[in-house]
Homo-oligomer: A and B are copies of this chain.
Amino acid sequence: MAKKVVTLGEIMLRLCTPGFDRFVQADSFDVIYGGGEANVAVSLSNYGFDAYYVTKLPKHEIGQAAVNALRRYGVHTDYIARGGDRVGIYFSETGASMRPSKVIYDRANSAIAEADVSDFDFDEIFKDAKWFHFSGITPAISKKGAEITKAAVKAAKKHGVTVSVDLNYRAKLWTPEEAQEVMRDLMQYVDVCIGNEEDASLCLGFTPKGLDVTKGKLDIKGYEVIFKEMMEEFGFKYVVSSLRESYSASDNGWSACIYDGKEFYHSKKYDVRIVDRVGGGDSFASGVICGLLDGKSTKDALEFGVAASALKHTIRGDFNMVTRAEVENLVGGDGSGRVQR
């Protein structure tokens, strides 16, 4: 019997220009459904967990297509409320070399942003669940979103469910002040805190020392300091972050670090040639969650997460279409890319 895991958030319709085309060149859009926590649900389903996704989607066919995208990869959609007017949309174009990828959001007034706590029976949802994952996006999309998130984490805790958060600060959705007011309160329910240096700063008021993000240079020592401070203040069991070095839109360095209250680990670093970096952070969170649920050591859970998310960068779409075996193979050291026959 697979373990039940729950994620909550907004799944959006991503309209993606083909290849490297710019928005103004596009005569068609690739249709992709994705969103932070939905991406985590799909990954966890791929790894063999019974993943349940909680959101609200309109009854019309675009809403149905979002449901179908989740079902296709085995995510349980029983807890998705149906109603509201629209599926949140974002447009994306894929960058190359020194031209960055670009995202235009059109997500206001989506069904989940206008949903109500009463749309969800969290006692039913968290019954027998082992893990709950949410991100800083859902409480940011609307006041209702923040209320639903609060209700969810409280119910999760009540049912003894482990809670993880991906801080994921979104400047288009709220100010740091607004974010900190909501997010700091939610942290009391969180066991595993995931986020990069910017998110931590903007959502929780922490600033990494000695890091100049725009220069792509990361001081690993700084992370260790912050992680310890964060754990002290919020009582997290784990603090985790991916570490991206943006050499260009085409090539990134990718590693991660974790602190479990005892040891601080910095993972192996991968140099990735990027196919689609959207969902990279989500695939990292999923990998770490998988590792911890499996009872791996802190270090091994981290390495599983970073390998899983390195692979994600080579896959089109938000979802990380990899199996455990593929991740383990990369963790084991085979990054040679030789053909698998």
Q: Which residue of B lies closest to A67 (CB)?
A: B74
Within 8 A of B (CB), among A250-278: 250-251, 270-275, 277-278
Cβ-based interface call for A147 (8 A):
no
> CA separation between A21 and B68, bound complex, in Å?
16
Which of A98-106, A182-190, A223-231, A285-293 lies at the interface? A98-106
Q: How many residues does chain A have at the interface if contact means C-beta atoms less than 8 Å apart?
A: 85
Is A108 touching B105 in the complex (CB atoms < 8 A)? no
* In the complex with contacts A29-B31, A98-B311, A311-B99, A336-B15 CB distance below 8 A: no
For residue A289, give the distance in angstroms from its CB to the closest CB of chain B.
21
| Secondary structure class of chain A's binding surface, majority of residues | loop
> CA separation between A109 and B18, bound complex, in Å?
28
Cβ-based interface call for A334 (8 A):
yes
Is A330 touching B103 in the complex (CB atoms < 8 A)? no
Cβ-based interface call for A210 (8 A):
no
Cβ-based interface call for A314 (8 A):
yes
> CA separation between A140 and B334, bound complex, in Å?
28
For residue A58, give the distance in angstroms from its CB to the closest CB of chain B.
9
For residue A43, give the distance in angstroms from its CB to the closest CB of chain B.
13
Residues 187-217 of chain A: 1 if any B CB is under 8 Å from the residue's CB, otherwise 0? 0000000000000000000000000001110
* In the complex with contacts A30-B28, A334-B214, A72-B62 CB distance below 8 A: no
Cβ-based interface call for A47 (8 A):
no
> CA separation between A31 and B99, bound complex, in Å?
23
Residues of B within 8 A of A270 (CB): 97-98
Within 8 A of B (CB), among A69-105: 69, 71-74, 85-87, 89, 91, 95-105
- The 7 residue pairs across chains A and B that have the minimum distance between CB atoms: A249-B337, A23-B61, A72-B72, A98-B335, A246-B336, A97-B273, A96-B314
Is A98 touching B310 in the complex (CB atoms < 8 A)? yes
Is B25 touching A98 in the complex (CB atoms < 8 A)? no
Residues 17-28 of chain A: 1 if any B CB is under 8 Å from the residue's CB, otherwise 0? 011111111111
Cβ-based interface call for A297 (8 A):
no
* In the complex with contacts A109-B108, A214-B334, A339-B24 CB distance below 8 A: no
